[in-house]
Structure 1
Amino acid sequence: MTRRLTPGLLVVLGFLSAVGPFATDLYLASFTDIARDLGGDPSSVQLTLTAFLLGLGLGQLLLGPASDSRGRRPVLVGALAVFAAASIAMVFSPTLSVFVGLRVVQGFSGAAGIVVSRAIAVDLSEGETAVRALSVMAMVSALGPLISPPVGGVVAQLWGWRVVLAVLALIATGMFVLAVVVAPESLPVWRRHRGGVRQLAARFGMLLADRRFVGRAIAFAAGFGAMMSYISASPFVGQAVLHMTALEYALGFAAGALALVVANLTNARIAERVGPGRMLVLGAVMMIAAGLAFSALALSGTLSIASFIACAFVLTGGTGLTMANGSALALARADAARGSGAALLGAGQFAIGGLSSPLVGLWGEHTAVPMALISLGWAVIAAVGLIVARSLRES
């Protein structure tokens, strides 16, 4: 059993936790092509994103606690095998309905890459070093949204959206192989939770009764909701409203994703000194500022390509700080039930993400107003979560 969190292991865990960014961002620029070829409209293609996120949320809710009782490694390896198989099958989807169904399976199984990797990192670290570990993981994971859009945009333009899905299948297979070869068992048998549904409900109840855990979980999930409001609407805002080409959109999206890398790199270097609570507050302030600017520009009709990218940079940077520090501080409260704690974080995160996607599409695909206002709303909810937790007083 491995009991050291080495830099190499952190990089692998970060890659495995990038299931979400790779599986969502790689094919964003292909939405309109998928809608045309499979006989759907752009809003129905957004359901493929919603289906994946809902599967991801449910998967974390079940696979996290399973790793508390069965061990981290068997849950991670088994689930990623299914994730790779579903990703391969998706390349050959004949209809949009089959595509959506496979996305649910892909999301449910891929959830292990997020929830179990996060639990392993916290198992093998202590106190505020967990903040640094999760920040490094998030920085590696952020390479997914940094690399995926331009790669997906170029591949879609040259060879079409099915080849984009083939690239995703290759990545999924690589994740499975790395889990088999590298992922350790970090949870000793004597620390595992035995019992069935009743004990699982008791662990969830214990965590949900902890105000500090709940407040930080709200901030974490709402931060993701703000980012997903931007991500799910950005293809239509960029291409239909601002008239960007698929490649221009992909490069602009990657510039916004760069903020995640910068934010998590900065957080990993200074969070232990400044305090994760203060870094969490800074992230919430950045999200609110970006949401206000987005809303003012969208409502006034003055949103431009440059301001779109600038607001996205600040929004995603604030999300990076909020999610890294919020998750570390919340999981510090979970103690031995970290798989269950990570499951609640992830379930809330992707339930809100799945809700955000259809919400931003309610007013059509030719306005940036819903994206801006809903991003701002989630940023405000994140700030409310911080008030509930009063995390600043503890740092």
Structure 2
Amino acid sequence: MHRSTPEMIQPHTTSLLMQMVFCALAVVSLLYIPVPILPLLATAYQLPQEQAGLALSAFAFAYATGFMVFGPLSDRLGRRAVMVGGLVLLAVITLGLAWVATPGLFIAGRALQGFAAASFPPVALAYLSERGTPKQRVWGVAWMSTAFLSAGLLGQIYGSVVASRWGFSWALIPLIVVYALTALRLAAAPESNETRRPQSPFWEGYRQIFTLLGNPALRRVYLPALLLLMSFVTFYIGLDIHLGTAFEGHGINGLQARGLALPAFFAPLLAPRLIRLWGPHRVATAGLTLAAIGLALCAGAGEKRITLLLAASVIYVAGVAISVPGLIARIAATTSPEVRGLAVSFYTFVLFIGASLGPWLANSSRAWPVESLFLLLATGLGATAIFSAVRGDKPHCAR
């Protein structure tokens, strides 16, 4: 059978990449849209205020679980087939969710939406890491990382502007269009030189997880991943819980507090050059260290120095944004192509398990001083930075 080469598909790479990046933004934003409108969702779907966070946790847990299904499935069926089928399923579920009105159906719909959404991020990363020239692959991962991360703020901004004004259901309609158009574009894209695994029993592939966890370098990826999005979700929900009134007193709304850090999410675009200069190990460690310093500065600023706290939040977000491509590049450097889909899937699984714990941790901190919450998060990320700094990289292990 004829197999396309990277050169043959190169003319399609830039436009397809940009559409995939925009779709990634729309997919991952689904997690974050409810963050600034949790009280409105509680009212609209008759949820107790303390249970409004289920709109986040149900999605995030199902999202993380889906990574462990779709990543290995893409190793067997091909990346493109899984992305196309998953985006069609996501569009159908999201359309259905736009019409539900009861709390049970809403939470169940969010869980189904999260599971279907998981078909895109890890598979898209693996697809782009295997497609085109080495330079295109690095930039493809950098742009996708930027989209995944900036969705953390853009999704919240979209929720504040669109969902709070017209309702959560109407905010979903433009996203459905994005999923459908991207599925059509991917279906029409030329075949790439994908490597598929032998047709062994599906569950047999999961035995490789124990091999992955036996790789010291990958353990230094997975533990930081657990805390990265947990700290991020906790940080922004914590801002609303603890400092909403203080922001209002300074004439700052939640949208402005979030938008201030948006430029920091373009930090992954620096990653290709930084990784070439320093290597993925040092880039990941530097990002974790910067994030921990930013949170420590937020803790030092506290409620009394809002301006300093917001400036420190930019440092924190930049650290998170630098960490993610460094961690992904570390996976690529230490796994063979046969298990890379599973390795990236397990990484994203751990990442969003952390995100699903964020609302619980933020709500558990209601009785704490905000400084204690930020200091706890800073300590956790600081510990993972030290753990990451210990070298354990072994190129292309976990076969």
Instruction: Give the count of matched residue pairs.
Output: 387
Aligned AA (1:333):
T
Partner of 2:397: none
CA deviation vs aligned residue, 1:309-348 (integer Å, no higher than 9, x gap):
3232111110111111111111322212111111110111
Contact 1:69 1:193 in 2 (8 A): yes
How far apart, in 2, do the equivalents of 1:174 and 1:111 lie? Answer: 18
Is 1:251 the counterpart of 2:251 in the alignment? Answer: no
The structure-2 alpha-carbon separation of the partners of 1:20 and 1:350, relative to structure 1 and needing over 3 Å to count, comes to farther
Confirm or deny: 8 A CA contact 1:132 1:272 kept in the other structure.
no
Contact 1:15–1:141 (Cα < 8 Å) also in 2 = no
Give, in whole Å, the separation in 1 of the partners of 2:308 and 2:4. 47
1:30-109 map, 5 Å: 30-109=37-116
Which of 225, 231, 237 aligns to 1:226? It is 231
Code of the residue aligned with 1:8 in structure 2: it is: S
2:354 maps to 352
Match of 1:277 in 2: 281
- Comparing 125-134 with 328-337, greater Cα deviation is found at 125-134
Deviations 1:160-199 (A, max 9, x none): 33322334434443443443344855523xx424312553
Give how far 1:2 is off: 5.0
Conservation of the 8 A alpha-carbon contact between 1:129 and 1:272: no
Match of 1:314 in 2: 315
Decide which of 203, 215, 236 is 2:220's aligned counterpart.
215
Number of the residue aligned with 1:196: 201
Note the 1:139-218 alignment, pairs <5 A. Answer: 139-182=146-189, 185-188=192-195, 191-197=196-202, 199-218=204-223
Question: Taking structure 1 as reference, are residues 16 and 183 closer, same or farther at Cα in structure 2, changes over 3 Å only?
Answer: farther
Cα separation, 2, equivalents of 1:169 and 1:245: 37
Residue 7 of structure 1 deviates from its aligned partner by 2.9
Distance in 1 separating the partners of 2:30 and 2:250: 21
Aligned amino acid, residue 281 of structure 2: G
Residue number in structure 2 paired with 1:286: 290
- Residue 26 of structure 1 corresponds to which residue in structure 2? 33
Change (3 A) 1:240 1:390: farther
**Residue range with higher mean Cα deviation, 83-92 or 161-170:** 161-170
Alpha-carbon distance in structure 2 between the residues aligned to 1:360 and 1:183: 45
Q: Structure 2: how far apart are the matches of 1:281 and 1:115?
A: 22
- Give the Å deviation of 1:129: 6.9
**What pairs with 1:119-158 in structure 2 (closer than 5 Å)?**
119-124=126-131, 130-158=137-165
Q: Is the 8 A contact 2:296 2:378 kept in 1?
A: yes
Alignment check: 8 A CA contact 1:220 1:327 kept:
no
Residue 380 (structure 1) shift: 2.5
TM-score between both structures, scaled by the size of structure 1: 0.86
Partner SS, residue 243 of structure 1: helix
Residue type at the aligned position of 1:274: W
Greater shift, 57-66 or 371-380, is seen at 371-380
Counterpart CA distance in 2 for 1:363 and 1:280 is 28
Q: Secondary structure at the match of 1:228?
A: helix
CA distance in 2, matches of 1:37, 1:157: 11
Residue range with higher mean Cα deviation, 27-36 or 126-135: 126-135
**In structure 2, C-alpha distance between the alignment counterparts of 1:82 and 1:353, rounded to whole Å:** 23
Please tell me the root mean square deviation across aligned C-alpha atoms, in Å: 3.0
- State the distance in 1 between where 2:236 and 2:199 align: 39
Secondary structure at the residue paired with 2:382? helix
Query: CA separation in 2, counterparts of 1:366 and 1:377?
Result: 16
User: How far did 1:267 drift?
Assistant: 1.8
One-letter identity of the residue aligned with 2:96: A
Mapped contact 2:131–2:192 kept (Cα < 8 A): no
Residues 202-244 of structure 1, C-alpha deviation per residue, up to 9 Å, x if partnerless? Answer: 3222211111122123233432322222244344345355338
Instruction: Give a deviation string over 1:126-184, Cα, whole Å, max 9, x none.
Output: 87875443212222444434543333322235323332233443444344344334485
Q: 1:285 to 1:143 in 2, by over 3 A?
A: closer
Query: What SS does the aligned partner of 1:361 have?
Result: helix
Q: 1:243 corresponds to which letter in structure 2? A: E
Structure 1: state its 5+ residue gaps. Answer: none
Alpha carbons of 1:203 and 1:37: their partners in 2 closer, same or farther (altered >3 Å)?
same
- In structure 1, the residue matched to 2:324 is 323
Distance 1:200 1:28, change over 3 A: same
Larger mean CA deviation between 156-165 and 365-374 belongs to 365-374
Structure 1 residues 183, 63: CA separation in 2 closer, same or farther (over 3 Å shift)? Answer: farther
Deviations 1:233-279 (A, max 9, x none): 34434535533899931232122232111x11222343312333222
Q: How far apart are 1:72 and its partner, in Å?
A: 1.1
- C-alpha distance 239-70 of structure 1, shift in aligned 2 (>3 A): same
Alpha-carbon distance in 1 for matches of 2:70, 2:291: 30
Q: Percent identity?
A: 17
Q: Secondary structure at the match of 2:271?
A: helix
Q: Please tell me the residue identity of whatever aligns with 1:104.
A: A
1:357 CA drift (Å): 2.0
Corresponding residue SS for 1:18: helix
- Secondary structure at the aligned position of 1:112 is classed as coil
Q: Which amino acid aligns with 1:251?
A: Q
CA displacement at 1:105 relative to structure 2: 0.9
